[in-house]
Every structure is written in structure tokens, then in C-alpha cells.
């Protein structure tokens, strides 16, 4: 698993940084082995479906988790492409989208617009708003540290009177 895809729960299961599960126990090893054997018997379609579902969960987790590092939407697009074994060039042709523009989206130099969000939503069965929420979250995360002046309703009312 790539470093980009690895999800780490620093707080542990109980939020105290300690796991409630003994990963060295016989029960845990047995469960892990059962999951691995079940995974090995899945057909190709099920494996792809599970990978796509995993990326969807990563997207939703990113949107709903405050204060984590910025992830460009292109990271999720690339993970979808890996799951279905489709190249960036094939995607750009299918979308009738300039390859260089797609690369710019993947690298975060260009934003996903509503048209692209709709197309990606149709292909990967993701609500187009999720793609736009990721862009919005990234914009807010970039701007928050730059906002130095603290504003409030009380301050506004004081200035207005």
C-alpha cells in the first residue's frame, strides 16, 4: 500500500493512542487470516468494487476530518484509475479532456470544475458535490492560516454603532 493511501489512526481506537485490540492475540491473527482467505476467493469484479468503495470512503473521510494535510482531488482520481487499471491518457480521451489539463488537475495546479465533477461522478458513481467539497475544503485550509484579523459579530456591531 502506498504511503499516500495509508490511513493511520493516531488516536487509536479509543482515542487515547492505545489500541483496544491485541494484534498479537490468536483471535486477531485468526480473524486476519480469515479476511485474507475471503479476499483471495473474490472475483475480479468484487475486488475492483471494494477498491472503488475504499476510495469513496477515503474521500468522505477527508472531507469530514478537520485539520489534516491538504489532499488534491487528483490523488483520489489516480486511486480510482489504479483500481480499474485505466491510464490517465485513456481517461482524458474518454472525457474528451485535454491530457495536459487532466495532469494539471491530478497535480492540484488546476481545480475540478462542475463539468468535470459531474463527469467523474457519473463514471465512478460519486456525488459530484463531493469533488467540489474537496476543492472547497482545500481552499479554506489554504486561506485559514493567512487570515490574521479576528472578526466577530460583536466587533461588527461596535464598528457599526
Tens digits of residue pLDDT in 29-63:
888 888 888 878 888 888 889 889 999 999 999 99
- DSSP alpha helices (H): ranges in 1-152? 26-40, 44-64, 73-84, 88-95, 99-107, 114-124, 128-143
Measured between its terminal Cα atoms, the distance across the chain in Å is 59
Q: What is the pTM (predicted TM-score) of this model?
A: 0.70
Tens digits of residue pLDDT in 109-133:
999 999 999 999 999 999 999 999 9
Tens digits of residue pLDDT in 11-27:
555 455 555 677 788 88
Amino acid at each position: 500500500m502506498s504511503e499516500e493511501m495509508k490511513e493511520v489512526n493516531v488516536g487509536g481506537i479509543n482515542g487515547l493512542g492505545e489500541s483496544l485490540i491485541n494484534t498479537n492475540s490468536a483471535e486477531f491473527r485468526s480473524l486476519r487470516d480469515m479476511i485474507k482467505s475471503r479476499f483471495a476467493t473474490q472475483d475480479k469484479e468484487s475486488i475492483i468494487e471494494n477498491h472503488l468503495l475504499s476510495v469513496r470512503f477515503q474521500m468522505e473521510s477527508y472531507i469530514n476530518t478537520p485539520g489534516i494535510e491538504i489532499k488534491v482531488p487528483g490523488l483520489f482520481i489516480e486511486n480510482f484509475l489504479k483500481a480499474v487499471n485505466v491510464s490517465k491518457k485513456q481517461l482524458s480521451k474518454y472525457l474528451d479532456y485535454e491530457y495536459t489539463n487532466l495532469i494539471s488537475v491530478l497535480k492540484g495546479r488546476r481545480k475540478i470544475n462542475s463539468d468535470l465533477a459531474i463527469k467523474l461522478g457519473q463514471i465512478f458513481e460519486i456525488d459530484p458535490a463531493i469533488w467540489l467539497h474537496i476543492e472547497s475544503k482545500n481552499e479554506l485550509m489554504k486561506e485559514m492560516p493567512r487570515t490574521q484579523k479576528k472578526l466577530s459579530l460583536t466587533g461588527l456591531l461596535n464598528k457599526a454603532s
